[in-house]
């Protein structure tokens, strides 16, 4: 009976840690905002991860279980503890695939927010992710003027002269 009571008290004092996240090409980063954390424990699985620690200031046990939007590589994932937070780097199993959210479920977690200071729309920066129109536009923009064919010379070869081919006066 002591065990049941003790477990109930521990769970009653547990709460989720506040966190923010952002997406990158190869990884997803989650920062748990816990100052002076103690006994930090992380367990990475392919489709979820568990975070727990003791808040140093008021000794509250913090625990988060996150069912992830996509798969991660548990062996390639790691964390780093500082005095202000615990930063987790979750290595994506499939690099180059963006995550629209961190969690599997679309429901909002009141402890989780997007880290807009570190968010970067990396999809727009890669040639491989550009649509064919964007690739064409980029190719046209990067071509130098010397690489373009001389259209006037081509017209003269085919005898196509415009009626307004008069010489323009020089600008002063």
Q: How much is the pLDDT for 148?
A: 42
d(CA 160, CA 130): 38
Q: What contacts 115, CB < 8 A, 6 or more positions away?
A: 20, 21, 22, 29, 31
Percent of the chain at pLDDT > 70 equals 64
Whether 49 contacts 66, CB under 8 Å: yes
Q: Which CATH number fits domain 7-98+130-135: 3.30.450.40, 2.60.40.790, 2.40.40.20, 3.40.190.10?
A: 2.60.40.790
Q: How does the average pLDDT of the chain come out, rounded?
A: 78
Q: Tens of pLDDT along 128-152?
A: 444 443 444 444 444 444 444 444 5
d(CA 172, CA 60): 79
Q: How much is the pLDDT for 137?
A: 42
Q: Tens of pLDDT along 38-71?
A: 999 999 999 999 999 998 878 889 999 999 999 9
Q: What is the DSSP letter of 80?
A: E
Q: What is the DSSP letter of 25?
A: S
Domain boundaries, the chain: 7-98+130-135
Residue 110, Cα to own-chain centre: how many angstroms?
20
d(CA 19, CA 110): 10
3 pLDDT more than 60: no
Flag the least confident range among 19-28, 80-89, 117-126, 150-159: 150-159
Q: How much is the pLDDT for 125?
A: 57
């Amino acid at each position: 009976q002591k065990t049941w009571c003790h477990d109930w008290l521990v769970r009653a004092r547990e709460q989720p840690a506040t966190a923010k996240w952002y997406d990158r090409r190869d990884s997803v980063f989650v920062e748990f905002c816990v100052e002076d954390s103690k006994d930090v424990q992380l367990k990475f699985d392919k489709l979820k991860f568990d975070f727990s620690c003791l808040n140093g200031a008021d000794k509250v046990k913090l625990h988060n279980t996150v069912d992830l939007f996509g798969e991660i590589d548990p062996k390639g994932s790691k964390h780093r503890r500082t005095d202000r937070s615990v930063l987790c780097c979750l290595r994506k199993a499939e690099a180059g695939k963006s995550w629209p959210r961190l969690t599997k479920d679309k429901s909002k977690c009141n402890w989780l927010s997007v880290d807009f200071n570190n968010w970067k729309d990396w999809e727009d920066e890669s040639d491989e992710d550009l649509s064919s129109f964007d690739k064409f536009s980029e190719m046209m923009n990067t071509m130098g003027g010397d690489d373009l064919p001389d259209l006037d010379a081509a017209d003269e070869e085919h005898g196509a002269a415009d009626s307004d081919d008069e010489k323009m006066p020089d600008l002063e």
